[in-house]
Each structure stands twice: as C-alpha cells, then as structure tokens.
Amino acid sequence: MSNQIGVLAMAYGTPESLEQVEAYYTHIRRGHKPTPELLNDLTERYRRIGGVSPLNEITKKQTEGLERLLNESRDGVTYRVYTGMKHNNPFIEDTVKQMADDGIQKAVGIVLAPHYSSMSVGTYISAAEKGAAEHGTPAFTFVREWHLHPLFLNGLEKRLLAALKQFSDAERENLHVLFTAHSLPERILQLNDPYPNQLTATASALAERIEQKRWSFAWQSAGRTADPWLGPDVLDVLRELKEQGVRNVIISAIGFVADHLEVLYDIDIECQGLAKELGIKLLRTAMFNADADFLQTLASVVREQAKKEGLL
C-alpha cells in the first residue's frame, strides 16, 4: 500500500429538510427538545431561505475538492478525505469508525472554521479523539486554528475589495466595515479562550491590508439560552452606526467559510432588513464556499500540518 494519509474534515451540519429540523435542534440542545416556539422560529428561518440550507452540499464540494487538490500535490502520498458532522449524519464519531474500518493509520483533522474555541473547534476535536480511542486508530494530528494563514487572509481581502468596488468614491468616504462571527457564551472569557482575540487578529490584519480606518467587530447569531452571550450584537451595532451618521456598511463574516443559515438569514434577511429601515446601504462579502482559492487554502493548511508532524 502506498503512503496514505486520512483527512477528517469536520463541519457543523444542517438538516436535510424541514422535517428534520426538530431532531437536529434536539441534538444541538444535547437531547432536550426545543419548545414549540423555538422550533417554529427555527423552522421559519429555514423556510425563509428556501427550506434547506446549502451547507451540507457546500461541505461535500469542499471535501471533494480538497481531496482532489491534495492528490495533485505529487508528494508521494495518497490522501483520503472524509467528512464528519457535529450535528448531522455522518457524525464525527461514525466517520472516525469508517476511517478505522478502511485501515487509515494516520490522519489530519481539520475543522472548517478558522478560529479556535474550546466550545467550538475543541468539541469537534474531542469527538474525533473519542472515536479514535475507541477504535485504536487512526493516529490523529489536528489543525487547531488557521485564522492568520496568508491564503485565508488573501481570500478574505479579495472578497472585501470586490465589495468595496460596489460603492462609489463618495460612498466610501462614509463607509464602515463590520467584521462578524458567531457569538459564544460569555463564560469563555473566564477560560481565557483564544476565540475573541483570534477574531480580532483576523479583522485587524484585513483592515490593515485594505487600509480601512473605519471598522469594528460585532457578534451575531447568539444562542437562545439563559446564559449571556458575547456582544455587542451586530443588530445593535448597526443601530449605533446609524446614530453616528454612517450610511454605508460592508459586513465581512470572517468567522464563517460557507453560505448557511447564519449568513443567508441572520445577515441577508435580518441585518439587511434592519439596514433598510435605518437607511443604510449594506453589502455582505461573498463567502468562500467551494471556490478554488479556498480549496487551495485548505490543502495548504492540511499539508503544512502533515509536514509539521512528520507525516510527509
């Protein structure tokens, strides 16, 4: 057998139909069914974006493209890329079992999210480690963050500049760039979790690259729990920007890499609706999805991790 490396690409997952929303939401809530009100609200959000999120299909294209690119590298290695989902089939633990059944001995794990948090990326890694311990294989090395990888920043910069071009010179003089990411419970601050600082680092690097002086960071998509979540919320920030006289805004959702509910509803419908009420021209930067430059980024990150751990 040629030198073979498995790659476990981990993603959040999303229901395949409106009928699956309740089971999906229950899994997110660790087995606790949502109230009818919460379920109806989430179902309606999916309905508003067309009934189904494109995330699963995008993830499939990302992993297929990643495998193709990795196997074009001519580094004497055969790569097999697997997909593991946190909240939907195929679940991470089941995929690790499949990798073990396929005879994968060594593997690189990467979460399709660039910024590390013990409550996000850390939980994906724990699930993979649990599966590997149960089956005795594969031996994993994990990419824990890639928020400042040059290719990642290049891709974000390209999409930011494309959005900027849609504003006139006069509009750019009154333009604010708002970087966003998924909020997490505030208690991560007591854990010295790196998530907020990593997001600020990405935002700062991008603002410097495009020489954007007027920018800030906001959180979005906070969960509906009793715990307080990180703020300020993007909707509150839009209202504050209006009060400051800002009339033109670009949202760059740097915490996400694909179109999904938190982008297509929370930004494209909820934020856009508020912006229209406020008289703000709001544009969102394009997501990476399965674009060629993003696949190159993933391939580079995986290969660098494999090399660092002596797998190549």
Annotated binding site for Fe(2+): 182, 262
* Backbone phi, psi, residue 259, to 5°: -70, 125
Locus of tokens 């007591």:
190
Binding residues for Fe-coproporphyrin III: 12, 29, 45-46, 53, 124
List of long-range contacts for 60-68, beta carbons under 8 Å, 24+ apart: 61/289, 61/290, 62/9, 62/112, 62/258, 62/289, 62/290, 62/294, 62/295, 62/298, 63/9, 65/290, 65/292, 65/295, 66/7, 66/9, 66/295, 66/298, 66/299, 66/302, 67/7, 68/295
Alpha helices in the chain (DSSP H): 21-28, 36-48, 55-70, 92-101, 121-135, 150-164, 169-172, 195-209, 234-243, 261-264, 272-278, 292-308
Binding residues: 12, 29, 45-46, 53, 124, 182, 262
Structure-token pair, residue 97: 């079992």
Across-strand partners of 11?
85
Rounded CA-CA distance 225/77 in Å is 46
What order do you get walking across the sheet with 139-143 strand by strand? 78-85, 4-11, 106-111, 139-143
Q: Which residues, in sequence order, are CB contacts of 50 under 8 Å at separation 6+?
A: none
Vertex 124 angle, CA 122 and 130, to 5°: 100
Residue (of 57, 131, 58, 121) closest to 91 by Cα position: 131
Rounded CA-CA distance 123/285 in Å is 28
What letter does residue 105 receive in the DSSP assignment? Answer: -
